[in-house]
């Protein structure tokens, strides 16, 4: 079952400048940043709020690290802006299978590693009224060691 909007992905040409815009304009700070070599992006996650299921909602800012990445190609065609919406789920495998059974194309046969150790897959935008849709199962929160 989808439980929340996990994040909204925003493609940008200059990650540092875009982060500064969101910090200066809205007061959002970077919660996490990383480079995902597999997907060819450098990203920053800006935490917006906590959610009732123990997760959070974020803005994910994405700068391509190479022109042939999915985000690089998207930027070349569309320019900066909203790239995708991601819904949180406790079980990305089960939800992807259930959605596939309803006739929606799931882009990965097996979920892949996403931001902050999450597991992700995408749904084809042509099957989702033009919206690239991501399903996300967050990585387990580790308990602090005592």
Task: Give catalytic status of residue 134 as yes or no.
Answer: yes
Q: Which of 34, 50, 134, 142 is catalytic?
A: 134
Question: What sign has the CA pseudo-torsion 105, 78, 135, 34?
Answer: positive
Assess contact for 10 and 61: CB atoms under 8 A: yes
Q: 2-137 has which CATH code?
A: 3.10.180.10
**Per residue in 5-46, pLDDT tens?**
999 999 999 999 999 999 999 999 999 999 999 999 999 999
Phi, psi (degrees; rounded to nearest 5) at 133 = -120, 135
Confidence of residue 144 (pLDDT cuts 50, 70, 90): very low
Spatial distance between the Cα atoms of 86 and 76, rounded to a whole number of angstroms: 22
Tokens read off for 88:
């949180």
Tokens read off for 1:
């079952």
Q: Which of 38, 39, 60, 80 is catalytic?
A: 60
**Per residue in 85-135, pLDDT tens?**
999 999 999 999 999 999 999 999 999 999 999 999 999 999 999 999 999
Task: Give catalytic status of residue 29 as yes or no.
Answer: no
- pTM value is 0.90
Q: What is the pLDDT of residue 141?
A: 65
Q: What is the pLDDT of residue 143?
A: 42
Task: Give catalytic status of residue 110 as yes or no.
Answer: no
Domain ranges of the chain: 2-137
Pairing of strands 81-89, 133-137: parallel
Q: Which of 34, 37, 84, 110 is catalytic?
A: 84
């Amino acid at each position: 079952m989808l439980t929340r909007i996990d994040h909204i992905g925003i493609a940008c040409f200059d990650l540092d400048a875009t982060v500064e815009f969101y910090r200066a304009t809205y007061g959002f700070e970077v919660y996490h940043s990383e480079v995902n070599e597999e997907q060819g992006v450098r990203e920053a996650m800006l935490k917006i709020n906590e959610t009732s299921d123990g997760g959070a909602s974020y803005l994910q800012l994405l700068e391509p690290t190479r022109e042939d990445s999915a985000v690089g190609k998207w930027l070349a065609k569309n320019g900066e802006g909203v790239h995708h919406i991601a819904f949180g789920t406790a079980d990305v495998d089960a939800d992807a299978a259930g959605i596939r059974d309803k006739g929606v194309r799931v882009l990965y046969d097996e979920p892949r590693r996403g931001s902050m150790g999450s597991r992700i897959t995408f749904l084809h935008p042509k099957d989702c009224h033009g919206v690239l849709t991501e399903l996300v199962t967050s990585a387990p929160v580790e308990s602090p060691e005592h």
